[in-house]
Structure 1
Amino acid sequence: MKRQTQLKASLVLALTLLLYGYNLYAAIDTLPHKKGFPVISREAAPTTAESAALAHYAMGIVYENEGKIDEAIGEYKEALRQDYESSFIHTRIATGYLLKNEHKKAVNHLKLAKRFNPDNTKPRILLALIYTSQKEFTEAACEYEEIIKLNPGSMEALTSLADLYVMQEKMEEAAGVYEKLLEKEKDRNPPLHFNLALIYSRLGRVDSAVEELKTVIRLRPDYIEAYLALGLLYEMKEETETAIGYYEEALRVDPLNKKIYRHLGSIYYKQKNVEEAIRQHRFFIKIDPADVSGYLELAYIYMSEQRHDKAAEALGEAEALGLENERLFLAFGFVKSAQKEHDEAASYYTRALSYNPENAQLHFYLGAAYERGGKRAEAIAEFRKSIKLNPKYADACNYLGYMFAEDGTNLDEAVSLIEKALEFDPDNGAYIDSLGWAYFKKGMMDEALAELERAARLVDDDPIVYDHLGETYYKMGEIDKARKAWKRSLELDPKQELVKEKLKKKQ
């Protein structure tokens, strides 16, 4: 459940308890004398002021039960005129304002309720909930800390305070609160041990986290999340076989839990046990064929193993079932690009963009597919869209700049674009090569040579860099250096026919 939903549910619960948790006489009989509503015995004859206050208060309850919140607040305010220092009535008015979503007015009355009766925890609970819903976590924590001082055994306040510390990334404080809670609830509350384990793991106290999770399993052997967490922690400790053991224990508890097969698939792939990883992901798909992530993870394994056809088959299974979303079409685009089916790749990227048309990265991928498919005008348009959506997208700036340099067009813009890319990634050898090549095309040989030699130092395994370096040396009359650079380029990629021709012709 999302945190926002939990907060809303807590607020509603608190209001329900405050609004409807008492009958009228029970509420009156239990109010603190002089700090809340005046204590009135059912046998005693009330004063005129008390009678008037009771009448207005009772009428407020009636209106509240009928959902007439404005009228209820009006009656409570009339009751308040008889006793302005009534913490209870201020709290009732505050709950009315909360139901109207007027938090500022509610907070004002709750602060008054707290001032007139500092020992009353109800206003503090509501204030803490309001502050939390408004992400004012420090103020909320202060309220819970005061509640705990008044009622050290309040489990609700302690757990809420721990949650707030977690949201504030105050993990040491959160751990301290959970440790206090477990002093009261030791060996009776597995979720508390589980939460403390998560906090310990965030603090890097992995061994302590493991011990807490083992306690969870001892107390509740079917606590599936504890097995999964132990598996992950042992993965972090690089104790792979132990991790697998806990995942398999989890399967004995819940053999149809697809998450476990995902974890096993991942860990087997890290072990380079490819076929077993594939088998685990197949189990995932069998359990939930409508979950596209199973097909995506299977395709990822096939792509990593250069089995592009099998990756396409896996994604095709999802598409055949009518599963369509941005991630599926993006993955299909990657696979088709790897298969050099650039028109199909562009088609899938276009379909992905229909789900997220303002995504700069998708426009970049589409531009790359167009460029590789020979559709340069379309590619330029997509790269420009990508840069417009994200002016700091270095790859898009470099790709477009390099395209212009290759074509010998818009060379000033090419230099500007590549320099912009280098602002964000100044030691990127590919970008530096692009800049050197743009200078070469502009006839700026000294600048070109300086950048290309720097690129070669940074990326010594890129055949294109050495081809560009060879061209520059040749243009500057350094024939021996040119031939040496081209030979290095061919060593890195022997299939370059154009470079072979240069070595033959340019003696």
Structure 2
Amino acid sequence: MKKSRSARKTYLRFSSGDEALSTLGEELLKKYPDMLEKVERFHRTDKAIRRKAEPVLELFPYDWEDPEYFMEGVMHCVRGNYLGALGVFSDLMDRQPKAYPVYHMLGYVCGSMGKYKMEADYYRKALKLKPDAVQVYYDLAIACWLMGKEQKAFAAMKDSVGRVQDFNVADHWLTYASDNLGRYIDPDTLAEKEEGEKVRCQAQAYYMLGHAFVEFGLNAEARTAFKNAVRVQPKFADAYFELGALHIKKLRNKDRRKKYLEEAERLYVQRGDLLRASMAQQLNQSRDEAPEEEDSAEEWMKEGLRLQTLGLYQRAVDAYKMAISFEPQFLDAYYNMGIAYGSLEEQGMDTIVSAIGAFKQSIRIKPDFVHAYIALSAAYLRRGEHREVIAVLEKALEIDPENYNVYYYLGTAYRSEGQLDLALDMFERGVFLAPDSLQVRFSLGLVCMDCGEHESARDAFLEVLRIKPDFPDAHYLLGYLYREVFGVEEPAAAHLRKAEKLYAKLKDHERVEKIQQLLNATHE
């Protein structure tokens, strides 16, 4: 009699194409020698286990050849049988290599075993196949945090909010996965793993989610996320601190601000972090009442830089403002605040006017600070105010005539204004000062094309490829020049094919289609 799918012993099967998974299986068997016997006892079909596993099919729709086999792997996860889950999912990876849920679940199993690098790698494979699988970003954020890669962790959580700005979607997955998918089950005892691991990870996930919402100006959602962080982990000082900070100007509830910041201060003192306790106290009082330590401005400046490094630009702005409240002429705080506002603008927030104001104040404080002129010109350029760019940079040239960035932005502004001779002159000067600057070389090639100087354009793009061989735009334009201007088919086709591969990697389907049309025209 043929055995049913659910009766198969799948937990010993590993993909021959992934040695790392086989190694994980061996590690499990060594660590838990009696696991197979225990798995056999719990392997029988269990309606409760299946009910816990079934939501995964709904959350991650895919055209499965055999959905029951995938469910078998998920049910192994629910039981905490990582060995069985690895066997099923590695086998499925061979059978359906484009099934993104398999890579997600493989990552989840690796994370359950403490293999966080492998976990993150599988999540990234899943996202290559389905970039909008938002639940993968939540798990990737936790994996990166567990590896100590905070910047990547916050970036992954920001990516999730950039796709789905609904707290309930995140909350559902974080709660469901933590409670049901076996990550916190010890395979040896079938009880919960080391005390506090689940609490620590779930609270941190909500905390990072709160920061991500702040970045997109979703303050009510951020408050809910931070409140969930302290619900899960009641002594989470940083989450109380962020709740208090939110209520200062975003939600404007003084009583709640006071309550949260006092609790943050108490918890910081309790753990001996007197610096952050002082920051919570300063944040909780008006500027006139706030206790000023000797290095208050500098400490808030450092906090802003820390937050900016993590990609938390809105909170960095708030920290720089606190630094300025203690030192009104704090040049570095104004300059970095402008940079943070510019980064928020790139995320889709309307903050470019604030960036311009911060850079202008930097110049007022230090009129010979050339970096502020360059940053101000970049902000004007983003607004399309080319005459303002030229006026600012003409002053910058008087301060530092050897700064290639000044010539780059001047050249860009002149080109936008249609003053091609001036643009060409600026880019040539920039290249002379910085021969290996990718952006200056490429811009020089573009303006040479505009001027009809095709040989110079070709030379500039070849230099771009010397600096960065995999720069797709340079390959594309070289292919165009060789074919349409010089009439040389062989190098044209080589560069176009290279550009096609690079654009395909970037999922720039429009460019890929244009290149294919050019290549097809070449063969006709």
TM-score range, shorter chain: 0.3 to 0.5
Point out the structure with max Rg over C-alpha: 1
Which protein, 1 or 2, shows the higher relative CO under an 8 Å CA cutoff with sep ≥ 6?
2
